[in-house]
Amino acid sequence: MDIQKVKVLLTKAEIEAKVKELAQMLSRDYSGKNPLFVCVLKGAAVFLCDLIRHMDINLEVDFMAVSSYGNSTTSSGVVRILKDLEYSIEDRHVIIVEDIIDTGLTLDYLRENLLSRRPASLKIVALLDKPERRTVEIEADYRGFCIPDEFVVGYGLDFKENFRNLPDVCVLLEFG
Ligand code: 5GP
């Protein structure tokens, strides 16, 4: 991993403060509801782990994997379920945990797919949002940071499976 290829956009401390804030809002809104957090692998895994450790209510987690980018940095527009949920979400209060909303295609697909399984409610928490790039109408109910239209890595986000372990969110300067 070549550290000089990246520029810090959001520091570890800024991310931690924001994740705590989101966790407090979610704890308040979902107290007594035993919500199910659906983490979208792999990018949102780091966010999920930090988020739930700041929450002080009963909750459950499950995981889904969908294909969106493959190994390139532009959206293919094709969304495919690579790994489905383990449990039924019927009558559950479900929160989709996403790392980043870009074009919105992935979340739009996921939202429709999960709504067809008749949850009691369905909301979205996303750490990062690139609103400039949206091609479908979709917003996070709980949003961490709005960021410019740049390709970011770190805090779970990758480029060709690298950089997920960076503690900061960084802009990738070279795609070599
Ligand atoms: P969308 O379907 O909204 O265009 O893209 C959503 C997915 O694309 C995210 O879950 C993430 O995996 C990937 N993605 C979008 N923008 C970025 C980015 O700036 N960096 C990285 N690493 N992945 C991104």
Whether the pLDDT of residue 78 is over 90: the answer is: no
Whether the pLDDT of residue 43 is over 90: the answer is: yes
Domains along the chain? 13-149 (3.40.50.2020)
In tens, the pLDDT along 130-164 reads: 999 899 999 999 999 999 999 999 999 999 999 99
**131 contact partners, CB below 8 Å, separation of at least 6:** 146
Q: Which of 102, 129, 158, 168 is catalytic?
A: 102
pTM score of the predicted model: 0.94
What mean pLDDT is reported for the chain? 93
Counting Cα atoms < 13 Å in the Cβ hemisphere of 77 gives: 4
159 Cα nearest atom in ligand 1 = 22
Task: Report the pLDDT value the prediction gives residue 77, as an integer from 0 to 100.
Answer: 61
99 Cα nearest atom in ligand 1 = 10
Task: Report the pLDDT value the prediction gives residue 67, as an integer from 0 to 100.
Answer: 83
**4 contact partners, CB below 8 Å, separation of at least 6:** none
User: Rounded to an integer, what distance in angstroms lies between the CA atom of residue 46 and that of residue 164?
Assistant: 9
Question: From residue 80, how far is each of 19, 26, 85, 137, 150 by CA, in Å?
Answer: 28, 28, 14, 20, 24
- Is the shortest distance between the CB of 166 and ligand 1 below 6 Å? no
Active site (annotated) includes residue 141: no
User: In whole angstroms, how large is the CA radius of gyration of the chain?
Assistant: 16
Residue 146 bridge partners (DSSP): 129
